[in-house]
Amino acid sequence: MSPWIKRVDLLVGLTVLGWVLMTWFILVGLDTALQFMRQIRFVGQNGFTVSNAAFYVFVTVPRRMYEMYGSAALIGGLLGLGGLASTGELTALRAAGMSRLRIAVSAVGVVAVLIVGVVIMGETIGPWGDQQDQAIQMRLRTGSMDVGQNGLWARDGDRIINAKQSILHDNDGHAWVQLIDVNVFTLAPDGELSRFDHADNAQHIGSQWILGHVRSSVIDDDGVHSTTRAHERWASQLDPDVLEKSMIQPQYLSMRDQLRNIHYLERNHENSTAYASPFWGRVMYPLNVLVLMLSAMPFAFGTLRSGGAGRRIFLGILLALTWYFGQKAIVTFGVVYGLSPMLANLFPATLTSVLAWGYFRQLA
């Protein structure tokens, strides 16, 4: 056994691990069951079936696991250390010379190992599941749109529309969607292709769609005739509100996709906050989870020494909610007042780390 890892570290770590896994399973299970009940209401709309509802819930489980892990780590950590405290084992460890900080690090270390897999899941399976969810939601709302690996596909009268990418913009609190790399296939009454349009982008301005940098090719008996225009009005029935609501929200995208959209917006001198803030939130996610759990450990040495599991669960939920709303408020406040998204997301974790470190140094 490594000289840095002792039997007491394993005792603390394995105890916390068991409670974290059990809490994680319960939280995700409850959230999944509630979501399935919500989806049952849509059965029968646009061909939506019970199996579709089950598939929707199944593919979003990885994202729910990612989102719930921080709360599960906090509550599970308090339950684990609280149990050791109530049986007197923490007191025995302290009497044997093990510092509070060392006990806390043993508990947090298990969470740190698990979080590697959680982050990988949140960057791979999670976004894939949300893409499948988006496709289901599109079909549910419209019956004529679909989203897959090749982007958005929609039927608009005698035209078939394909957009390789959709970007959500945020302008003074108003969200709107821009389609990127748009192909429009116009079919003749006999089903033959009569026209093909390609545009670099499409955006809904006022009450109409505008295509940007358009190349049109018309096919007739004399051949193919092509023209190029900087802008063109597009008489499409695509509903921008439906597109906005059906898009994968920026916080559910992988960091790679968020970064790609940030670079696109910055190249076009547009506001990238809608993607930059959730991107840095994902970057800081492991740090936030570890800091949140570390800052809650002092309660295991005091207030949780007496009292049952119900008290520990209540305190864990209270701390998790306080952290969640406090962090959101600080990040939003920072972004609104011009602080960079990176610093706005880093500040809550830094402040909490300083407070927790000060506590442990005081009691060392």
Q: What is the 3-state secondary structure (H, E, C) of 285-324?
A: HHHHHHHHHHHHHHHHHCCCCCCCHHHHHHHHHHHHHHHH
Please name each of the domains of the chain with its CATH number.
7-124+272-363 (no CATH), 147-253 (2.60.450)
- The structure tokens listed for 107 are 């508990």
- Specify the residue for token string 């701390």: 319
Residue 173 buriedness (CB in 10 A; 0-12 / 13-18 / 19+): exposed
* pLDDT category of residue 26 using cuts at 50, 70 and 90: very high
Q: Is the pLDDT of residue 224 over 70?
A: yes
Q: Is the pLDDT of residue 218 over 80?
A: yes
Rounded CA separation 131/128 (Å):
5
Q: Please, what's the b/e burial string for 314-348 (b: 16 or more CB within 10 A of its CB; e: otherwise)?
A: ebbeebbeebeeebeebbeebbeeebebeebbbbb
What residues are paired with 254 via a beta bridge? none
Rounded CA separation 103/81 (Å):
9
pLDDT 10s digits, 173-190: 566 778 888 898 988 888
Task: Name which residue leads in pLDDT, 246 or 109.
Answer: 109
Write the DSSP assignment of 53-102 as a string of letters. HHHHHHHHHHHHHHHHHHHHHHHHHHHHHHHHHHTTHHHHHHHTT--HHH
Rounded CA separation 168/174 (Å):
10
pLDDT 10s digits, 292-338: 887 777 766 655 455 555 666 676 677 777 888 888 888 888 877 87
Residues 229-253 have a mean pLDDT of 74
Look up the pTM and report it.
0.72
Q: Any residues with CB less than 8 A from the CB of 147 and at least 6 apart, and which?
A: 131, 134, 135, 138, 153, 246
Q: Is the pLDDT of residue 152 over 60?
A: yes
Q: Which range in 22-36, 221-235, 249-263, 282-296 is most confidently predicted, on average pLDDT?
A: 22-36
**Average pLDDT over the chain, rounded to whole?**
80
* pLDDT category of residue 248 using cuts at 50, 70 and 90: low
- Specify the residue for token string 């570890």: 290
How many Å from the N-terminal Cα to the C-terminal Cα in the chain?
26
pLDDT at residue 314, rounded to an integer: 72
Rounded CA separation 28/62 (Å):
9
Is residue 181 left, alpha or beta, with left meaning phi > 0 and alpha meaning psi from -120 to 50? left
- The structure tokens listed for 74 are 């906090």
pLDDT at residue 129, rounded to an integer: 86
Residues 99-122 have a mean pLDDT of 86
- How crowded is residue 40: how many other Cβ atoms within 10 Å of its Cβ? 12
Residues 196-224 have a mean pLDDT of 84
**Cα-based distances in Å from 129 to 56, 151, 210:** 8, 15, 31
